[in-house]
Structure 1
């Protein structure tokens, strides 16, 4: 790609300082500016200028230039937090904002060493810097079972633009569990409070297909003895990935996103194969999340398997109680947000 190349003239740093912008071979306009006395190109600081090259002059910059027509991403480190809980040393991780469309951003979480091995799910939120209140619920991370089916990640499509989140005045917390929210295991500043790592975003498919499948309430002997109805939403993401969203309907009124399950646990969810084994871990649903949903990015190869179904459980401690269940596969329904 040539969106970092200016053709026809060898521009030195002093030449650039006298301009507001330059036009690249790709036809994109790169803004020229200054930040704390340092020359910037496309908003990225120049770390080494006027490097002689065989085809002109090169300038080394401290980031990635991404044309406006390309989706973007920005990642922030989450530092391990010492605490008095079961994961006393905390864990390290990463939160990434992926540009999805003009009004939505895909937020993913990952733990550096995969699942923690704890018998709980780890809720996560974006908090306001000023008052510390939860601004956005993220999808929890399933801490159980370090295996190939559980990669210690989660995803959430939030109703904020990429630029809004990239400039958000706040931070991300990952907690030990819903029951023990006071024990923070990972934390990191985001947006206007931190310098993130910018990069190219996902190669999203055009006009993605969205399918809906009902999850039926399953009577059981647990705390949710009548089960909890829900829906499974499958939206094409890239050529080989799908965003799978579990949406629960605790009051059974057919409306989704109108209340939490009011449980002090998260509800694990899995994709099961025809033989009953877990093929992929979905993100658990936080029992305190007002929208009662979670998402995960899943390979299409998993969804294309025969005889697969989804189980949503009461909790990591009570996996024997299935509260919601539904088949995966061809389904009716379409469009709409998450």
Structure 2
């Protein structure tokens, strides 16, 4: 524990001085809209509201992984054969994950949570220890679990196809105190060292995950805070491409991923859950695993100073 504390204390050198202003205008607008919706007590748990939030996190969140292949090309300068091999590997990893939702859905759920915790933890650049990063990433899931245990349990049961999903939900509640404590310390460090816009937005996103229905809270975090930061990093790494290429690539790759899942789900519909929100998270898991693996590979090969994973950026994408 002493080592972990020392790691946090000395990591403040890696938190850039922010301007203390807006992180992304869209985040604050979405957060205010969600708060007002909660204040006037609109039924965010209704099937229509849940379906709308599901569409938001799928359509709004998928593009942030749409540039993996382009970033890989920039990082490694692959030839045609290497590119084909990389694309094949990406699709194969996604295929394995999709197959797990049929053959071993409980294992797939655990893999998804582990991958999400690692990936979300990558945002915490001020934390040196990998376990602390994972704990901070886990807080995103744990916050929803302690705020809405029954809803998260139902979602996990639908995804896992068994009561094992409820056990996973209880495990998230059990780790929540440690995960939220680490996250709170990280937010405090970021605030102290100047990244106040990001720190405030992260705190609000966590509170929303606890108070708002899980899908709505996750949509706020994933689409309006996490994804834009990674999109900003990819835009920096691919800064010489045109805006038209940028938008077309995001739309096409996201559309292929969503279309591929719809084709897969329709083919094996009897073997998957009928819950559309649970399927949306299964889709997210299917692309999250190759995205995590490839993004780490890419980051190790890009030139210093051109990283696809953003640090603390208190500015919108230009």
TM bin, normalised by shorter chain, reads under 0.3
Query: In terms of Rg, which structure is larger?
Result: 1
- Per the normalisation by structure 1, the TM-score is 0.22
- Bigger fraction of residues in strand: 1
- Per the normalisation by structure 2, the TM-score is 0.23
